[in-house]
Amino acid sequence: MEKGFRIENLLAVLAVLAVRLVNTQWLARNRPDEPVEAESFGASALELLSAKYEMPKGGWTNRSVLIAVARLGGFLARKHDGLPGWQTIWRGWSKLMCMCEGLEILKEKAKRCG
């Protein structure tokens, strides 16, 4: 991070991620009961959330996905807690992405011979 162009590259990646998280939170507030498509959120991410937390009866919705991601970041999800804050969403998203990367590595190793 000693050069300016490296910081610009980091900001470009983080800006895309920030827009994705803002969109997820917006959908959870404005369309909470709408189902989440596996293609748009990530099939492996939903698979991991289903393994970690029980899948809701009606399937994953915008609100349930956001709360599950925030629970990975330390959100308690008690009955009268509101929607999670940015820090818990960010922590949960970071942890989920590390879990997805680990799952991809395991799937690659399973394909190898020997």
pLDDT at 40: 87
- What number is the average pLDDT over the span 87-104? 96
Please determine, for residue 112, whether its predicted confidence score (pLDDT) is greater than 90. no
Residue 53 belongs to domain spanning:
4-111
The tens digit of pLDDT for each residue in 10-62 reads: 999 999 999 999 999 999 999 999 999 999 899 999 999 999 999 999 999 99
Mean pLDDT of 88-110: 95
- In sequence order, what DSSP letters do the residues of 47-100 get, joined into one string? HHHHHHSPPPTT--BHHHHHHHHHHHTT----TT--S--HHHHHHHHHHHHHHH
* pLDDT band, residue 114 (cuts 50/70/90): low
pLDDT of residue 53: 95
CB 112 within 8 A of CB 95: no
Assign 5 to helix, strand or coil.
helix
Q: Which two tokens stand for residue 64?
A: 């349930």
Total count of domains within the chain: 1
| CATH value at residue 92 | 1.10.740.10
